[in-house]
Each structure stands twice: as structure tokens, then as C-alpha cells.
Amino acid sequence: MPIKSRICELFGIEHPIFLAGMGGAANPKLAAAVSNAGGLGVLGAAACTPSQMRRWIRETRELTDKPFAVDTLLPMSVRGGGNLKLEDGENPADLVPGYQAMAKEFMNEHGLKMIEHDRRPTEIESVGLFTKEFFEEQMEVVIEEKVPVYAAGLGNPAAWADRLRANGTKIMAVVGAVRHTVKVSSAGVDAIVAQGHDAGGHNSPVGTMALIPQVVDAAKGTPVLGAGGIVDGRGIAAALMLGAEGAWIGSAFLASEEANIHAHQKQAIVDATEEGTVISRSITGKPARIIRSAWTDFWEHSEHDPLPMPFQSAVAGSVLVSADADQRQDINPGFAGQGIGMIKSVRPAAEIMAELVEGMEKTLTDSKKWFS
């Protein structure tokens, strides 16, 4: 029997299953495949330049006539740094060259050759990647393109809410704590994603199972999606039992044919066990769940802390680019959540969706057994 929730009606979808916004990985092909299969496809547009985002939105519209979302990060989210202790007046930007020299040594030790970066498009040069101005320019595209749904992956979309709503755009926000839930609820978002510590990427210090019901209570009636470590129908059913009305799923869809990550990264997901991930600031400067690698180990054992966002990306960039060119799963296996031990192969997204739906329905139907 099909499972419906308020989420289905609100977003005009068949199943309460969302592709998580995964920067770069959740591209138009993957988002459209999930939307076409009855879920909600979400573009991971956090690192897209404004014109690339516009292209992605238009491409998605060509691939599906169903609703989809755009996920970005918001300015306040880049204000917090890490644990780095700076001398009075010292700017993390000044430390970048020294850190890049450390990265170069790491590359030499691991047999990686420096690859000339593609020159960044001038529109990024003009505003800087992951700056307040960069995110603001992205939001102008989200508004101009009148996307069906906007999701704030980090931060509060309140400042844009009126303009989004005027376009009929539904608004979502991803949270990792009750205090964030209270903030985004008062901004009047349509749905909230409770993303726990199990999740791939930047996540919460609170585990998914403990976080979902506490966010549901704090959301005071705003529908909640559970996220983090959900890779099969049992996980979705559990999230529903905890009071969520749907699931926001990342890693399970990374292991899809459509996902825009490297083949060696898909293989790393298939190869990993439940113990295969760590929380590390080594890539973006913010704590993120990543598949353990020589690069995460390097920072774990280093006497230096990674630089805060956005500076650490300038340190990690060359390492990751050359690791990808050499298909080095041991250096850049990528972000992923703790559920990856359950992922055994790379499949088309439609097949993954069908299995999630069937598994969710079966688990909920089978739960009657507890009353017999």
C-alpha cells in the first residue's frame, strides 16, 4: 500500500523520499531521475557558479516535468571557523601558502603530481568561492529561475523567504540542533530536514535517531524529514516512526550511475564498511563526514589544525584534483554517511528509488507483527 504523508501533498510528489542536496554530486541527471521516479530530486548546487546553477536548473527542467529543488549554503554558515588559534590580528588567508607547502609535501610522499588547476571562471574570481557575495549571487538565480523548491543546506533562509514565496517556491532548511529548528521555524519554512551525525558531509554532533524526534517536537507542526545514515527502506520507516514525514537521502544515491562523482569514489562506497568514515575538517575546513583516507589521517595526526572554511579548500584543492586524476580512492574517496556499509553495488537511481519505496512499505506493513 503506498505510503503518503503531508510531504507528498505539499511538494506534489508520490513518495516521501528526497535526494539530498549533495554539492556537485547531485547533478541534473540524478535529480531528474529521482523526481521522475516519484521522489523529489534536489540539485547540489552549493559550489555552482551562478551561471552554472542556471544551466543546471534549465537542464533539470528538460529532463523532468516533475518538481525538483535547488540546495545551496547560506552566508552565516561560513562565518564559523574551526579550532584554529590565530595570533591577535592574524588572518587565516596569510597561513594558506604555508599550508599549501605542507600539502605539496603530502603529495610528494604519496606519489601525486601537481596538476595545473583549470582556471576558475571569472564570475567566481570576481566574488570569491563560498563568500557571502557568492551565496547572494546564487540566491538571485534561484529567485529569477522560480525554482519549485529551495533548500538551505546550512544557515537560515529567512532573508530570502518573502521573495521565494512570491514566486511560489517552497522553502526547506537543513538543521542539526533544536536551536536551529526554532530559528528556521520562525522564518516559516515549509519543511525541515533533521540531519544527524550519521550523515555524509557537514553534519550535526547529535546522532540521527536522537535528533529526529527532538527536531519534530521543536518544529511545532512543520513537517520534518529525517537524514543521516538512511540507505534503505528500514531507515525510512524508522525515521517515520520517530515522527518524521519523509527522508532526505544522500549516500545511497551517490552509488548510482547518474551521480556526478568519480568511479573510484563510487567504488570506495561499495568497498567501505560501517566503520569506514570519519569526521574531518581536512577538505572544507568545517567538520564533515568523509570516507577515511590518507588525507584525513594526515590531518588527524598533524600538529596543525586545518584552516577554517573557506581557506582549507585552497589547501586541499590540489591534492584532491591530482588524486582524482590518478583515481586514488586512498586519497580522495569522498564524503559519505555511516550507512555505506549497506551499499553493495552501483545501480541506476530509479532502481535505488524503487527499492527504497518497496523496503519502506514492507517494513511498515511487517511492523504489524509486533501486535500478533
The residue ranges that bind ligand FMN (CB under 6 A) are 20-23, 25, 44, 46, 71, 153, 174, 195, 198-201, 227-230, 248-251, 254, 334-337, 339
Q: Which is nearer to ligand FMN, 71 or 137 (CB)?
A: 71
Q: Is the peptide bond before 310 cis (omega within 30 degrees of 0)?
A: yes
Provide the minimum distance between the beta carbon of 4 and ligand FMN in the complex, in angstroms, as a whole number: 22
Asked whether the beta carbons of 18 and 125 are under 8 A apart, the reply is no
Provide the minimum distance between the beta carbon of 87 and ligand FMN in the complex, in angstroms, as a whole number: 32
d(CA 291, CA 254): 13
H or E element in which residue 108 lies? helix 92-109
Provide the minimum distance between the beta carbon of 81 and ligand FMN in the complex, in angstroms, as a whole number: 19
Provide the minimum distance between the beta carbon of 327 and ligand FMN in the complex, in angstroms, as a whole number: 17
d(CA 370, CA 372): 6
d(CA 209, CA 29): 31
Q: Which is nearer to ligand FMN, 23 or 276 (CB)?
A: 23
d(CA 286, CA 84): 11
Provide the minimum distance between the beta carbon of 109 and ligand FMN in the complex, in angstroms, as a whole number: 26
Q: Which is nearer to ligand FMN, 195 or 222 (CB)?
A: 195
H or E element in which residue 72 lies? strand 68-73
Cβ-based burial of 227 (10 A; exposed 0-12, middle 13-18, buried ≥19): buried
Q: Which is nearer to ligand FMN, 243 or 341 (CB)?
A: 341
Q: Which is nearer to ligand FMN, 25 or 219 (CB)?
A: 25
